Amino acid sequence: MKKILWVFSIAFMTFSCTNDNGVDANIEVKEGEKRSKLSAGSQSAEELKKAAEERKKKQEEAEKERLANQTTMEITPNVYDFGAIPKETPVSTVFTVKNTGDKPLIINDAKASCGCTVPRKPEEPIMPGEEGELEVTFESNAAQAGKPMNKTVTVTANIPGSTKMVTIKGMVDN
């Protein structure tokens, strides 16, 4: 019986907060204002369609600009093998990044596949025909001792496909 009374009390409170139009009864309508069932953030179908078209147009313009500024690059070597790596000792290598296109190469990011690998990308644009360096440092932890290591670095730049990957590998000593 208490449960039924409780359910009816909740229902009564819920429906008593709105008037017969389904509008919150506690909101005053001031002179010159109109009451609407639309929330402040709602838009008409026409407004939504127009906003979607504008977004699409901006995306197309951004893509056109991105494609116009693309270049090409080569990273050598593609894979670097450290061979035997002393455990818990940092080892580094340098990859050569060459701009093989006709626009400045801008490397936006270089991300490693794990926290034990730290890439350092060129900060300045690489001009057409010129080269830059991508330094990659790996430091093993005790859990990696006696195991093979294979890590990747993903380079994001203004190139077709946006990314290229390089790999470092080796065997961590006991």
pLDDT of residue 23: 52
C-alpha radius of gyration, the chain, whole number? 30
pLDDT classification of 55: cutoffs 50, 70, 90:
very high
Mean pLDDT (the chain) is: 87
Higher pLDDT, 83 or 7: 83
Is the previous residue joined to 119 through a cis bond, with omega within 30 degrees of 0?
A: no
Average pLDDT over residues 23-31: 63
pLDDT classification of 3: cutoffs 50, 70, 90:
confident
Q: Is the pLDDT of residue 19 over 70?
A: no
pLDDT of residue 14: 66
pLDDT in tens, 124-170: 999 999 999 999 999 998 899 999 999 999 999 999 999 999 999 99
Question: Which domains, ranges and CATH numbers included, belong to the chain?
Answer: 80-172 (2.60.40.10)
pLDDT classification of 36: cutoffs 50, 70, 90:
low
Residues 6+ apart with CB under 8 A from 163: 154, 155, 156, 157
H helical segments located in 36-144 = 45-68
Q: How far from each other are the two terminal CA atoms of the chain, in whole angstroms?
A: 72
Q: Is the pLDDT of residue 62 over 80?
A: yes
Q: Is the pLDDT of residue 39 over 60?
A: no
